[in-house]
């Protein structure tokens, strides 16, 4: 194994730091590296420079929290994707497999339609995501009893997603084309641009709480990916571990949509990137997905705010970048997800 | 030693197999024979605790088996399922170290010692050249051996194998059966295995459990249980056991033949 693959935590951390440094210099408000350097020094209380208030605001109030938020959400979504793929033993699973993203999108759309405040829209979104997943699990349970199998859950998830998708279409149909419709459309395409430090603080708390159990169960997840019965005979408490992992991954997805809108593809593509570096073992896959997810989402955000004179919605870019990358990985693995 | 007393097993309260009793001492191999759909897999799943018992008991060294997650008994019973291709390309070494899971705390990952132990087991079984290969890309025969390695890594007392020789060619069947026989003797394992081929019982079994289509269940030493009548009755088609005194040391070779 190559050095950088063996020491993947170091390599991927360096990558994240590098992307983060780049991200500090890219944005709507033009600032030279020297200006940014003096801003940072001033903040640290070292330098004594009289910086323009506007630059200070653009950098510390808009740019830095946005970058931190992008890293957090990307890391969380990638981790949730890796977990869903393992739990459902399906490489095509993504964080919205049980309807979380669509449900959260519907909640947010309703909030915007009713012209609620930003916080209320977040709460609506969060509630929508959880409601969709509860509905999925509830229906699966009523069909198959207590131990619903992953296949039933996935199929029910598709149905529930479809229902909430119809709800989204309905809200767009009745929305005012001059005010609420553009807001809803933008929300459904995702953006990190509106993140404040307060948002980032809440994101960090919510994501830590939901990512930690996934990290702790990383080995159990590996065993689970081999099959439920095998995992049971190997002493894994399959129903408990599966439930904890699904709940946590759903929380991550709903949280991400509530704060940044619907950001597709990261949860599907990044775990595959990570797998091509560290293999299928989740003790390595989970940390690698976290680090790589942060870098990927921040890198996409850099492109989103620098490619064109106007800012591009994130969902468009994650799809445009993620989809070809996914095909590249698929081709390289000759159709089987091996190295 | 694993023992089963008056076991009733089935789904949703409906018994598929009833009145099953047997015991397998250390170093013994029990082969479970019977036609399709007679309940071999149901019986195995019940012994493993994957299905609830409808009656009777499963005893491990005389004490009732506790199959709840986290139970110490799960360290002692290793299950070798029929090999399937998982969705993700775990390496062979990663699959084998999964056998340590009952000894790994819920929030922990395998230690270096666990991984070294898995590697040592691969070497002992002559599979070390596969260690870094993707488990999804090795042959069916190799996959079955790897699952046996995983079971041994668990350091079990009892090995439960679901048709380990199914889908293997003639040569690989011989390799597998030899491995089963040698492991049970050298490590003092109680081995329970199912097979579709009564010859496998003649080759490696100390005991046979024969389930018949009508619901009958015979258990005992191979020479007591397996004869023309019992096999014919169990499978519902004429079967003869033929004998030839041609083995090494002049030992008798016995084999089952079908009559059409």
Round the average pLDDT of chain A to a whole number and report it.
88
Mean pLDDT along residues A76-104? 89
SS (H, E, C) A108-152: HHHHHHCCCCHHHHHHHHHHHHHHHHHHHHHHHHHHHCCCCCHHH
Q: Which of B194, B192, B200 is nearest to B172 (CA)?
A: B200
B41 close contact with A: CB closer than 8 A: no
State residue A218's pLDDT score: 96
What whole-number distance in Å separates Cα of residue B129 and Cα of residue B88? 20
Full DSSP string of B76-127: HEEEEPPP---SS--BHHHHHHGGGGGGS-TT----HHHHHHHHHHHHHTT-
- Inform me whether the pLDDT recorded for A12 exceeds 90: yes
Long-range contacts of B108-115 (CB under 8 A, 24+ apart): B108/A219, B109/A218, B109/A219, B109/A283, B110/A219, B110/A283
Q: Would the pLDDT of B6 be above 90?
A: yes
CB A262 within 8 A of CB A315: yes
- For B196-239, what is each residue's pLDDT tens digit? 999 999 999 999 999 998 788 899 999 899 999 999 999 999 99
Indicate whether A338 pLDDT > 60: no
Q: How far is B94 from chain A (nearest CA, A)?
A: 7
ipTM over 0.95: no
B81 in Cβ contact with B151 (< 8 Å): no
* Mean pLDDT on B90-112: 95
Q: pLDDT at residue A130 above 90?
A: no
**Of A46 and A61, more confident:** A61
pLDDT at A27 over 90: no
CB-CB neighbors (< 8 A) of A244 in chain B:
none
Contact list in A for residue B118 (CB cut-off 8 A) is none
Instruction: Specify the pLDDT at position B244.
Output: 83
Q: Taking the CA of residue B170 as centre, how many other CA atoms within 13 Å lie in the half-sphere pointing to its CB?
A: 0
Q: Is A6 at the interface with chain B, CB within 8 A?
A: no
| pLDDT band at A339; cut points 50, 70, 90 | very low
Residue B150 pLDDT greater than 80, yes or no: yes
Domain layout of chain B by residue ranges: 83-156
Judge whether residue B187 has pLDDT over 80.
yes
- What share of chain A has pLDDT > 90, as a percent? 50
Q: Say if residues A210 and A126 touch (Cβ distance below 8 Å).
A: no
Quick check: A235 contacting B, CB < 8 Å? yes
Contact B102 A217 (CB under 8 A): no
In this complex, is the C-beta atom of A276 within 8 Å of any C-beta atom belonging to chain B? no
User: Residue B51: phi, psi to the nearest 5?
Assistant: -120, 145
Task: List, in sequence order, the alpha helices (H) in A217-281.
Answer: 218-225, 228-233, 238-260, 266-278
pTM: predicted TM-score of the whole model, two decimal places:
0.91
Residue A1 has pLDDT above 70, yes or no: no
Decide if pLDDT at A121 tops 90.
no
CATH topology of domain A9-308: ABC transporter involved in vitamin B12 uptake, BtuC (1.10.3470)
User: Does residue A147 surpass a pLDDT of 70?
Assistant: no
Q: Where is pLDDT greater, at A13 or A151?
A: A13
**Residues in chain B within 8 Å Cβ distance of A86:** 88
CA of A105 vs chain B CAs: smallest distance (Å): 30
């Amino acid at each position: 194994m190559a050095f950088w693959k063996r020491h993947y935590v170091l390599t991927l951390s360096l990558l994240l730091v590098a992307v983060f440094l780049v991200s500090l210099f890219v944005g709507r408000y033009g600032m030279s590296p020297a200006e940014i350097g003096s801003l940072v020094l001033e903040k640290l209380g070292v330098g004594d420079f009289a910086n323009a208030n506007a630059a200070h605001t653009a950098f510390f109030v808009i740019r830095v929290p946005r970058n931190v938020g992008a890293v957090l959400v990307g890391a969380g979504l990638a981790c949730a994707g890796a977990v869903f793929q393992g739990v459902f033993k399906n490489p095509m699973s993504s964080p919205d497999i049980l309807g979380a993203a669509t449900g959260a999108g519907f909640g947010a759309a309703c909030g915007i339609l009713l012209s609620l405040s930003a916080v209320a829209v977040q709460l609506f979104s969060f509630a929508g995501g959880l409601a969709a997943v509860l509905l999925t699990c509830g229906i699966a349970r009523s069909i198959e009893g207590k131990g619903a199998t992953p296949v039933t859950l996935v199929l029910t998830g598709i149905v529930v997603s479809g229902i909430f998708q119809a709800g989204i279409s309905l809200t767009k149909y009745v929305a005012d084309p001059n005010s609420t419709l553009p807001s809803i459309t933008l929300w459904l395409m995702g953006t990190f641009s509106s993140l404040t430090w307060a948002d980032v603080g809440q994101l960090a708390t919510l994501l830590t709480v939901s990512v930690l159990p996934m990290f702790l169960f990383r080995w159990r997840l590996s065993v689970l990916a081999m099959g439920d019965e095998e995992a049971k005979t190997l002493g894994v408490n399959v129903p408990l571990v599966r439930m904890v992992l699904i709940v946590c991954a759903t929380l991550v997805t709903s949280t991400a949509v509530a704060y940044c809108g619907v950001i597709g593809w990261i949860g599907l593509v990044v775990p595959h990137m990570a797998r091509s570096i560290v293999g299928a073992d989740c003790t390595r896959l989970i940390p690698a997905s976290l680090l790589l997810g942060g870098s990927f989402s921040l890198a996409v955000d850099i492109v989103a705010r620098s490619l064109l004179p106007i800012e591009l919605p994130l969902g468009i870019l994650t799809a445009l970048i993620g989809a070809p990358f996914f095909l590249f990985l698929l081709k390289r693995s000759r159709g089987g997800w091996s190295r | 030693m694993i023992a089963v007393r008056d076991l009733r097993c089935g789904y949703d309260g409906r018994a598929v197999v009833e009145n099953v009793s047997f015991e397998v001492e250390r170093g013994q191999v029990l082969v479970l024979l019977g036609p399709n759909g007679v309940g071999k897999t149901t019986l195995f799943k019940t012994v493993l605790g994957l299905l609830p018992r409808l009656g009777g008991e499963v005893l491990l060294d005389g004490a009732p088996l506790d199959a709840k997650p986290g139970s110490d008994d799960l360290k002692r019973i290793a299950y070798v399922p029929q090999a399937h291709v998982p969705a993700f390309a775990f390496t062979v070494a990663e699959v084998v170290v999964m056998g340590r899971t009952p000894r790994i705390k819920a929030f922990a990952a395998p230690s270096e010692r666990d991984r070294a132990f898995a590697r040592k087991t691969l070497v002992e079984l002559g599979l070390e050249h596969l260690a870094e290969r993707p488990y999804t890309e090795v042959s069916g025969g190799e996959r079955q051996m790897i699952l046996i390695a995983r079971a041994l890594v668990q350091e079990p007392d009892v090995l439960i194998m679901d048709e380990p020789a199914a889908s293997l060619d003639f040569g690989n069947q011989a390799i597998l059966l030899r491995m089963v026989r040698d492991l049970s003797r050298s490590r003092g394992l109680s081995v329970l295995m199912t097979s579709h081929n009564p010859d496998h019982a003649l080759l490696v079994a100390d005991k046979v459990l024969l389930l018949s289509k009508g619901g009958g269940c015979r258990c005992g030493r191979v020479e007591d249980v397996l004869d023309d009548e019992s096999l014919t009755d169990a499978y519902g088609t004429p079967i003869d056991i033929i004998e030839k005194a041609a083995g090494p040391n002049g030992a008798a070779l016995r084999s089952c033949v079908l009559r059409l």
